[in-house]
Amino acid sequence: MGNDTAETHMTDVDIAIVGGGPAGLSAALALVRARRSVIVIDGGQPRNRFAPHMHGVLGHDGLPPAELLRLGRAEVEGYGGMFISGEATTASVGRDGIRVAVEGRAVRARRLLVATGLRDELPDIDGLREQWGRGVVVCPYCDGWERRNGVIGIVATSPQSVEQAQLLRQWSDRIVYFVNGVGDPDDEATRRLLARGIRIERRAIARIRTDRDDRLTGVELVGGSVVEVGAVFTGPTMHPRDELLLALGAATTEARGMRWVAVDADGRTSIPGVWAVGNVVDPRANVPVSLGAGALIAGAINAGLVDEDVAAALDPAREPQAGRSPGSSGGSLSVKEARSN
Ligand SMILES: Cc1cc2nc3c(=O)[nH]c(=O)nc-3n(C[C@H](O)[C@H](O)[C@H](O)COP(=O)(O)OP(=O)(O)OC[C@H]3O[C@@H](n4cnc5c(N)ncnc54)[C@H](O)[C@@H]3O)c2cc1C
């Protein structure tokens, strides 16, 4: 595969994509169809792997998340896209391209796209983690419809959780806001919650209750009383999986009280040749947004490579080093040929 040699085990491609979730795979599909050689390095831990079904994804509403990725991966492979299973551990930018190390192998690419998603840190409540993605969820647009008109608990993770309670009120008029020691609403927020009939529960939470079939049934309070709810929504602390980008020295910006790697509208980071897309740089990127952003950014990456190919055609001394796609002036090596080398 690629330009492997016994000495280096190096694979040369146009674009290395780290992360094979919706954002990375969508970009990969656009790029392989643009006849670019692409390798996707993926650790196989997409954020929504805990959920049995995915909602709000046009044409795929209700599909298991893993099935979307299986379909996407098959599509990318169908055009010659390559995959490595495993975690990329380091990346470095040099004159001859960007190198990514993964599981004892190395990939050299003209461009690096990081689509590594984020990790959710859940509130530390007995039984909550076990229900994540089923009885305990985060996104009203993903799971609100299925919980409509039911009793919905909001387990606060900060005073901003009152906004999640107000949002969920759109799906049900039976909302219980659990302050959980960290989300005490101020006077104005209290007035707004009560105005919409949202109950405020200030007693401390002991655990999440489930029935014999492992379905969430309620929130048990310290002291033993139980508030029966059919679902819990909570706002985990998000940790972007941006270690590779930070190690490269990518500039960051502050948004929603957190630091994120800064990207422009086309997904460019401050590091030349390095791009990022999806939840790793955008907490609002649900599946459809990640798919769209991946496709958009793929177009911008390809446009930059075309510019570079033109410059190389005008001045052969500037021939691109890594990855030789059919459009580049460095010779015509199709993806299929690259795989069989
Ligand atoms: C419980 C839950 C339910 C959800 N339900 C929905 C829903 O119904 N509808 C919806 O639209 N959205 C839903 N979402 C949101 C959805 O999960 C995200 O929008 C989506 O996963 C973002 O896609 P992504 O490609 O940016 O990241 P991810 O899907 O998280 O993919 C990132 C990939 O990168 C890999 N990776 C990370 N670091 C490395 C590394 N160093 N090397 C190699 N690979 C790496 C990971 O293993 C993973 O496979 C849900 C989220 C949660 C938590």
115 lines ligand 1 (CB under 6 A): yes
Q: Which of 67, 137, 287, 297, when mutated, tests ligand 1's pocket best, judged by the most ligand atoms within 8 Å of its CB? A: 287
Q: Which of 286, 289, 291, 297, when mutated, tests ligand 1's pocket best, judged by the most ligand atoms within 8 Å of its CB? A: 286
Is there a contact between 153 and 168 (Cβ–Cβ < 8 Å)?
no
Determine the atom of ligand 1 nearest the C-alpha atom of 137. Answer: 1
Q: Chain centroid to CA 159: how far?
A: 25
Q: Which residues contact 280 (CB under 8 A, 6 or more apart)?
A: 19, 23, 114, 115, 116, 117, 118, 240, 241, 242, 245, 261
116 lines ligand 1 (CB under 6 A): yes
- Alpha-carbon span 127 to 208, nearest angstrom: 5
Note down pLDDT in tens along the chain; length 341 residues: 444 444 457 899 999 999 999 999 999 999 999 999 999 999 999 999 999 999 999 999 999 999 999 999 999 999 999 999 999 999 999 999 999 999 889 999 999 999 999 999 999 999 999 999 999 999 999 999 999 999 999 999 999 999 999 999 999 999 999 999 999 999 999 999 999 999 999 999 999 999 999 999 999 999 999 999 999 999 999 999 999 999 999 999 998 788 999 999 999 999 999 999 999 999 999 999 999 999 999 999 999 999 999 999 999 777 665 555 554 433 322 333 333 32
Q: Which residues contact 276 (CB under 8 A, 6 or more apart)?
A: 113, 114, 115, 242, 245, 250, 261, 263, 267, 269
Q: Which residues contact 226 (CB under 8 A, 6 or more apart)?
A: 209, 218, 219, 220
Which one-letter DSSP state was computed for residue 319?
-
Helix (H), strand (E) at residue 178: strand 175-178
